[in-house]
Amino acid sequence: MAVRIDVEAFHDSIPTAVGEAAARLLADGSVGELEPAGGGVQAVVRDRDATFQPWVGIVDGIFTGDCDCGIVGDNLCAHAVATALTAFHAGTTFSGAATPPGATPVEPDHAHYLEAVQRLSPRQLADLVAAHALRDRLFATLLLGEAGMLDAAGASGLAGFRTAVADAATVTNR
């Protein structure tokens, strides 16, 4: 069942400091594309030198946010508020029974790796990821794509690729 949100009441419920921080994020264009997730929406939000992925949706009849910025409890953080305002502006329809990404069960191996990641400092994790990207081109491509840093193929790169495909087709057709 889809639910409509009273946007004015939502605005009125946000503490002033959180609303001002969310307005700054919106004015700076810090909220990325909305993605549907678990009956709600999420987006990548860049806040100064940090990046977060808040999720917002309706859980047990309450508009709820889940963000990895560290703010917990019933109050929404500025990242979640900015994501919600972006969703309202886009006319997003929310499910009446959403599930936050953190509430879904994960595979035991996945949970084990997540625990290992949480034990690393941000610098250790960044160094490990960068070192792995240098060794694994597929991982490097996934990393750059997730970070929005994957350049579109230029005309010269595309021409080289087409030549390689044509050469390969010639060899296999003989």
Q: How far is CA 120 from the centre of its chain?
A: 21
**10-residue averages of pLDDT along the chain (174 residues):** 77 92 96 92 91 91 87 83 95 84 76 88 92 93 83 58 74 62
Q: What is the pLDDT of residue 157?
A: 55
Q: What is the pLDDT of residue 3?
A: 64
Q: What is the pLDDT of residue 68?
A: 87
Contact 57, 38 (CB under 8 A): yes
Where residue 29 falls (left for φ over 0; alpha for ψ -120 to 50; beta otherwise) is: left
DSSP 103: G
Q: Tell me, what amino acid is at 59?
A: V
Where residue 31 falls (left for φ over 0; alpha for ψ -120 to 50; beta otherwise) is: beta
Q: What is the pLDDT of residue 42?
A: 94
The string of DSSP codes covering 50-87 is EEE--EEEEETTEEEEE-TTS--SSSPPHHHHHHHHHH
The full set of domain ranges for the chain reads: 2-103, 108-172
DSSP 1: -
Q: What is the pLDDT of residue 74?
A: 67
DSSP 147: T
